[in-house]
Structure 1
Amino acid sequence: MPSGALDPDEVEKAEKAIGERDPATGGPVERPLPATSAEPVPPEPGAPDPAHDIEQRKREAGVDHRFPFGRPGEPLGRAHPFIFGFTAALGVITAWMLVKAATNAKSVIVMIVVAMFLAVGLNPAVERLRRFGLPRGLAVGAVFLAVIAFFAGFVASLVQPVSEQVTELRKNIPNYVTQLQDNKRLADWDKRYGLLDRAEKAVNSKGFQDSLTDTATGLGKVAVNGIFQTITILILTLYFLGSLPQIKTFFYQLAPRSRRARVALLGDEILDRIGGYVAGQFTIAFIAGVTSYIFLTIMGVKYAIALALIVAVTDLIPLVGATIGAVVVCLVAFLTGTTTDGVICIVFYVIYQQVENYLVYPRVMKRTVDVQPAVTIVAALIGAALLGVVGALLAIPTAAAISLIIREVLMPRQETM
């Protein structure tokens, strides 16, 4: 330019001609030309075998400086039989291990589920106490102490009749032995078949003593295991009942933010129905216990309070609980009273169970759980077949939750399709 400065256009043209410059030296940078990569060559007819000819092996494999051992093949897709089989095998193994782990931990899982069920069922009582101004901790403590007091009273009511019967049996054993010895028919059988000698040999045999020891040990293990499970369930119930709001919040937060409000509303409704089911079961059991106590008091049957509590506790079990309690009461009436007393007890409990099954139970469950009577019976039968007593207890609230989800989620979605 006239001023002596370099023309920018000329500089740009020169740089393009020279190419890229080194920032350290300012000189042009010489880059190596891109190396041509060798492509794999398909074998031609009559070509040597690559297992014997090294050059043919390199040509067919496409050996170059980047792939000294030849180009790798295409990756296996998900539809490849090997990948599909391997993934399916891993899935089957994982599912089998999960099922096996759940089977091994079945007792623990059942205890956790029962404890959570009891906590959800007792939560309405805690909320009712909170409306009177009690903190949640005190309300939980009061409800839990009431539950402990109920079961303690139930056990205490059984101590006296059981101890009296054991004492009476121990006193009457010599009389029973004397009666057996003086029995003419038994003496005649003993002369014919040697019953007493056989019985003495069987009792003194090692196998009988070993089986008696094993039976006693098994009963002791069952008793200890039952006590341990009961204490564990009570402790878990206390913890779940105290932290139930935090547990609900945690599970609600697992739902997507756009659906969290609806999930929370449905979850609260399900928990309310479980609480209503527990309240309904206690109501039915209370009615059965009070009715039994009044009837047994009028009949003059011994241990009326203990038998009424047995009826109330067993009546908490759906379908078969009332029958179990009735059988116990009728047996006690036969053993401690006359045959007429036993027959009257049988007639009374047959009539009462019909009234409870067809009038009281469906009305209470319809009001508290909002489940049709036929659904409650079917759900209880299926639950009892799957998990026994625990399944029967959990079946009805589970059916209530499923019916709510079907009515509020599935059916509206079907209307939009």
Structure 2
Amino acid sequence: MRRRLRQAYEAGRQSVRTARERERSRRGSTTDVDGLDPIGADVAEVPPPGDGHLSTSSRDDADVPHALRLAAAWSWRLLVIGIVGWALLRVIGSVRIVVIPLLVALLLAALLAPAVGWLLRVRVPRTLATAVVLIAGLAGVVGTLTLVVNEFITGLPDLSVKASAGISQIQEWLRTGPLHMSDGQLDQYIESGQNWINENTQTLTSGAVSTAGTVVELFTGALLVLFATFFFLRDGQKIWRFLVGLFPTGARWRVDDAGRASWVTLVAYVRATVLVAFIDAVGIGIFLVLFDIPFAFALAALVFLGAFIPIVGATLSGAVAILVALVDSGWVTALIILGVVIGVQQLEGNVLQPLIMGRAVAIHPLAVVLAVTAGMVLAGIVGALVAVPLIAVINTAVRRLARRRHVAAPPPEPAEPPETVVVRANPA
């Protein structure tokens, strides 16, 4: 019993000694909180001020203010990240004819993957199911474009006549309205416009030549989109397993988890965007038909395509519908169509998108506008199209990769039943 009491006493002194050592190291002092030396503890020497710092390796660094060292550390790291990002953008820009079709193919694969999955569940071979879904989707796109082109060809002459009449009314208003412009001033402005066109004929011609090259790139990109979409739908699992296998073994499970969560986000985003775009097109198209606006189907199709570019696309397509209504039916009908477009956009932004997309792919409107603007600057219309889903996928992937892995603690080892030990308090 005496030996055990001695062991308990020594253990208590050791715990007190350890606690005081921690307090000294935290406060940078060699004395106890009460100013007394720890019981039985060796007094360590404290280095004089200025000899070093916990975050530095030399006295020269210690002489630099901590805020300046911190700012310098952030600066060179951000500089390295900026250089790497700039180099990555340059590489992507040099091979954009490959990168952009692959991104579009990913969007199409996310849109068509549920249909392929349904055919696979009814025992259709994977290759046949992929071919059927891809051909059906291509036929739907070609049929819609054919109807739109035919409607434009049918109604364009009538709209041209009404546009000419509208221009005449504008000229008459400029003469008799508050501006009181004379015929000579109008002729001067018209002549200035013609001179501008004549002076920029060479620029317009070179633009047409570059457009011909763009047509070749578009044709090549369209073929690459078709092939990439087909193989993404058929061999997507194999391609993903190959990419995951390129990472170190310890990181594969996290990369696989982040990739699969990002794919779920992309599928949800594309499906929700298609549904919201369809509702927008039907809502605006019904009012265009009710007010007998020409190109109603074509304008509804334009609204459907514009809805894939959040905020910006819906605004531009709605503006086109309003201009056609203004030219064809006057400013009263144009104001009504304007109200319809604003109402549909408010319904989309405040009800449909939060209800259909949910919080899994919710992105702040400021991030959407910045992403669309940056995508438009970097890659034009295609960049604006893929910017928002790319941000949504990156957001999901980063959240999954940054999530901590919760490892269950190992069960405690079985111990002998504790013995009851009575320890008398030390008067010291």
Q: What's the TM-score, normalizing by structure 2?
A: 0.61
1:138 matches 2:128: yes
Query: How much does 1:284 deviate?
Result: 0.7
1:234 aligned counterpart, secondary structure: helix
Amino acid at match of 1:161: E
1:122 matches 2:81: no
Q: Which residue of 2 aligns with 1:60?
A: none
Whether the 8 Å contact between 2:259 and 2:397 is mirrored in structure 1 is no
Q: Which residues in structure 2 correspond to 1:223-242 (within 5 Å)?
A: 223-242=215-234
1:148 matches 2:138: yes
The 3 A distance-change label for structure 1 pair 266 and 387 is: same
Q: Which residue of 2 aligns with 1:343?
A: 335
1:290 aligned counterpart, secondary structure: helix
Cα offsets for 1:268-293 (capped at 9, x unmatched): 22212211111111111111122222
* C-alpha distance in structure 2 between counterparts of 1:383 and 1:229, whole Å: 23
Whether the 8 Å contact between 1:119 and 1:240 is mirrored in structure 2 is yes
1:302 aligned counterpart, secondary structure: coil
Cα offsets for 1:12-38 (capped at 9, x unmatched): xxxxxxxxxxxxxxxxxxxxxxxxxxx
Residue correspondences, number: 319
Q: Which residue of 2 aligns with 1:284?
A: 276
* C-alpha distance in structure 1 between counterparts of 2:91 and 2:365, whole Å: 31
Equivalent of 1:313 in 295, 305, 308: 305
1:110 matches 2:100: yes
Q: Which residues in structure 2 correspond to 1:46-195 (within 5 Å)?
A: 100-168=90-158, 189-190=183-184, 195=188
Q: Which residue of 2 aligns with 1:8?
A: none
Q: Which residue of 2 aligns with 1:71?
A: none
Determine what percentage of the aligned residue pairs are the same residue.
27
Whether the 8 Å contact between 1:121 and 1:275 is mirrored in structure 2 is yes
2:311 aligned counterpart, secondary structure: coil
What residue ranges of structure 1 are gaps of 5+ in the alignment?
A: 1-91
The 3 A distance-change label for structure 1 pair 335 and 160 is: farther
Whether the 8 Å contact between 2:280 and 2:304 is mirrored in structure 1 is yes
Q: Which residue of 1 aligns with 2:365?
A: 377
Bigger relative contact order, structure 1 or 2 (CA pairs below 8 A, ≥6 apart): 2
Q: Which residues in structure 2 correspond to 1:226-305 (within 5 Å)?
A: 226-257=218-249, 260-305=252-297
The 3 A distance-change label for structure 1 pair 300 and 269 is: same
What residue ranges of structure 2 are gaps of 5+ in the alignment?
A: 1-81, 409-428
Whether the 8 Å contact between 2:261 and 2:397 is mirrored in structure 1 is no
The 3 A distance-change label for structure 1 pair 95 and 130 is: closer
Amino acid at match of 1:357: G
Query: How much does 1:300 deviate?
Result: 2.4
* C-alpha distance in structure 2 between counterparts of 1:177 and 1:323, whole Å: 24
Whether the 8 Å contact between 2:152 and 2:295 is mirrored in structure 1 is no
The 3 A distance-change label for structure 1 pair 290 and 262 is: same
The structure with the largest alpha-carbon Rg is 1
Amino acid at match of 2:261: E
1:134 aligned counterpart, secondary structure: coil
* C-alpha distance in structure 1 between counterparts of 2:319 and 2:233, whole Å: 35
